[in-house]
A and B are shown apart, each in its own frame.
Chain A
Amino acid sequence: MMPVLQLVMDGLMDGGAYALIGLGLSLTFGQLRRLNLAYGATAMLASYLGAAIYATQRVPVWLVAVTVIAAATLIGWYVEWMCFARSGQEPDHGGASAIGAPIAGADGREVVALASSFAIWMQLEQLAVNLLPRHLNAFPSLAAQQDWLIDSGFGELMVRTDRLLLALLAAALILGLGAWLERSRTGLSWRASADHRVAAHLVGMPVARLQTAAFAAGCALSGLAAFAVLSLDGQVTPMFGMWVLLKGLVAAMLGGLGSVRGVLWGGLLLGVIEAFAQALLGAQGREFATYALLFLILVVPWKPRESLVLSAGLRG
């Protein structure tokens, strides 16, 4: 009984981090209906910049956090400009056929956006590696390494307080953002413009501005997530970009891409499954579980297939 409970607990802690990572990806996908493959690389380059100023300038930790978040937002703005802004479904370029479609399907521009975001991924990752060529780079560590022992009645349960804090922060942020999307006027305009761009124009919403704002928010969140996760490890490696994209994508897909609250459940589920896989199959099993889960999502013919992987639009 006890080891199972401990595994669930560990899984939930890790899941909180996955959810935080997937949040920005899900938000931008919900708004643009396009997958940003440069998402992980954006977080990685921003983290490398943070690590670089930490190593050379010895700046305080909070300034590293601000740098990572600001850099992620700026790099994200560059990614949007390069990959997504010009691939938008603005009807004045699309002609009559684009107008009737509620959400543009897989058209040429979507493929161009995907391919160019892959190119930018490579570019950003290379930039980061050139900036700090070593495999291991120090990152300001906030890890408390304080264990909190709970006597559950079945035995002692060990919880790392810093990880618990991260998971709680993720949950609070996601639930708060979800509620804001569902209730506020701006939240409504984000969902409406994701739902139908032409209709959003017709009711007077500044669609292009809303899109940029959602993209920037998603990238800022990737910076926040990267800082939070890395500050627990105290180091950053060139694998970080790939790791962010993969874990974030699986978490976001499990919860339905585009659903904000879904990414929390998706992240937690991924964390728990990974914890069990690691206990049963060892460290390799952990990675195997991630890929197996991704494979299962895509291959098994779920009944409400669309609603499982893709949310119908941007949802709170």
Chain B
Amino acid sequence: MRLSGPLIWAQTIMLEISDLATSYGKIEALRGVTLSARSGTVTCLLGPNGAGKSTLMLTLAGILKPLRGSVKFEGEELVGCEPAKIVERGMALVPENRLVFPGLTVRENLLAGAYRRRDMAGIRSDIDAMFGRFPRLKERVEQLAGTLSGGEQQMLAVARALMSRPRLLLMDEPSVGLAPLVVAEIFSIIEQLHREGVSLFVVEQNAHMALKVAQHFYLMEQGRVSFSGSPGELADDTVIQRAYLGQQRAEPRLPA
């Protein structure tokens, strides 16, 4: 099925962030971020290191508490909600650096992802579905997650987030530190999830890959959104080209 949903459904705003501000002690990482993500689409957030992208993701997931602003998910306010509540509402984060449970097995990681669910039969069939989607995880089912390769850990992190059956999947730099072949695999997973009707909000440094999958782009600089537009507008915008698409090749990123 290829984007068969009605147009109006595709136009619905799923996530609406307005004037969101978060700080670490005295450092203000987010200075009033306003953006939105529509259901049934892949929204991509670009930006240089230190722009506040990961802070935004952790704030959305309820890990960091914002100073002000609002986050509305399907019309309901999420600011002030515990992370558990946010997962239950249908929004899950695949965090930067994967953050799998290193000392738990692959199966236990998936079970942990379904922690807020009580339907054992559904959980079991979802685990099987994950093994169908990520055959390599099936080969490693009783292996400790800490012993997996970076690409496998990324797949496990995605699978773990999917175990909560999210309607909106947040992904923070899913391709960072991975080999090009694995990056391509991750992006094909993003495309596949999109086709299946999952909405995605992805933070990415790899603008070249992001241009292939996302329908809307935001650019974040120094804690603020400085650009919003379609892939065409992004490619046309010479500032962004010079700053992010060009630089991407010229200067390799230092590890965080």
Identify the A interface with B (CB < 8 A). Answer: 91-92, 95-96, 99-100, 102, 185, 188-189, 191-192, 195-196, 198-206, 312-313, 315
The answer to whether A198 and B116 touch across the interface, beta carbons within 8 angstroms, is no
Complex interface: chain A residues within 8 A of B99 (CB):
102, 196, 198-199, 202
Instruction: Taking A191-B104, A198-B63 as given, write out 13 further A-B residue pairs in contact, using a Cβ cutoff of 8 Å, ordered by the A residue number.
Output: A91-B64, A188-B112, A189-B112, A191-B103, A195-B102, A199-B99, A199-B101, A202-B87, A202-B92, A202-B93, A203-B160, A204-B83, A313-B103
B30 in the interface (beta carbon within 8 A): no
The answer to whether B116 and A204 touch across the interface, beta carbons within 8 angstroms, is yes
Instruction: Contacts A96-B55, A188-B112, A204-B116 given; indicate if A199 touches B63 (C-beta within 8 A).
Output: no
Q: How many residues of B contact A (CB 8 A)?
A: 39
Closest A residue to B86 using CB positions: A204
Contact flags B70-111 to A (C-beta < 8 A → 1, else 0): 000000000000111011100011011101111110001001
Nearest chain B CB to A142 CB, angstrom units: 39
- How far, in whole Å, are A260 and B84 apart by their CA atoms in the complex? 28
Complex interface: chain B residues within 8 A of A100 (CB):
96-97, 256
The answer to whether A91 and B58 touch across the interface, beta carbons within 8 angstroms, is yes
Identify the B interface with A (CB < 8 A). Answer: 24-25, 29, 54-55, 58, 61-65, 82-84, 86-88, 92-93, 95-97, 99-104, 108, 111-113, 115-116, 146, 160-161, 164, 256
Partner of B95, one of A192, A199, A205, A312: A199
Instruction: Contacts A95-B24, A188-B112, A313-B103 given; indicate if A201 touches B97 (C-beta within 8 A).
Output: no
Nearest 4 A/B pairs, CB to CB: A204-B84, A204-B87, A313-B103, A95-B24
Nearest chain A CB to B163 CB, angstrom units: 8
- How far, in whole Å, are A293 and B117 apart by their CA atoms in the complex? 46
Complex interface: chain A residues within 8 A of B116 (CB):
203-204
- How far, in whole Å, are A188 and B109 apart by their CA atoms in the complex? 9
Complex interface: chain B residues within 8 A of A185 (CB):
111, 115
Closest A residue to B157 using CB positions: A199
The answer to whether B63 and A195 touch across the interface, beta carbons within 8 angstroms, is no
The answer to whether A205 and B84 touch across the interface, beta carbons within 8 angstroms, is yes
Complex interface: chain A residues within 8 A of B113 (CB):
203
Instruction: Contacts A198-B63, A199-B95, A202-B63 given; indicate if A96 touches B103 (C-beta within 8 A).
Output: no
Partner of A312, one of B54, B62, B103: B103
The answer to whether B108 and A99 touch across the interface, beta carbons within 8 angstroms, is no
Please, could you name 19 A-B residue pairs with CB atoms under 8 Å apart, sorted by A?
Answer: A96-B29, A96-B54, A100-B97, A185-B111, A188-B111, A188-B115, A196-B100, A196-B101, A202-B92, A202-B161, A203-B113, A203-B160, A203-B164, A204-B87, A204-B116, A205-B84, A205-B112, A206-B84, A312-B103
Nearest chain B CB to A74 CB, angstrom units: 27
Complex interface: chain A residues within 8 A of B160 (CB):
203
Complex interface: chain A residues within 8 A of B111 (CB):
185, 188
Complex interface: chain A residues within 8 A of B29 (CB):
96
Nearest chain B CB to A100 CB, angstrom units: 6
Complex interface: chain B residues within 8 A of A204 (CB):
83-84, 86-88, 115-116, 164
The answer to whether B115 and A201 touch across the interface, beta carbons within 8 angstroms, is no
Instruction: Contacts A96-B54, A189-B112 given; indicate if A201 touches B63 (C-beta within 8 A).
Output: yes
Complex interface: chain B residues within 8 A of A198 (CB):
63, 95, 99
Complex interface: chain B residues within 8 A of A206 (CB):
82, 84
- How far, in whole Å, are A62 and B54 apart by their CA atoms in the complex? 55
- How far, in whole Å, are A196 and B113 apart by their CA atoms in the complex? 13
Nearest chain B CB to A201 CB, angstrom units: 5
Nearest chain A CB to B157 CB, angstrom units: 9
The answer to whether B100 and A188 touch across the interface, beta carbons within 8 angstroms, is no
- How far, in whole Å, are A206 and B62 apart by their CA atoms in the complex? 12
- How far, in whole Å, are A153 and B222 apart by their CA atoms in the complex? 82
- How far, in whole Å, are A169 and B189 apart by their CA atoms in the complex? 51
Nearest chain A CB to B49 CB, angstrom units: 11
Complex interface: chain B residues within 8 A of A96 (CB):
24, 29, 54-55
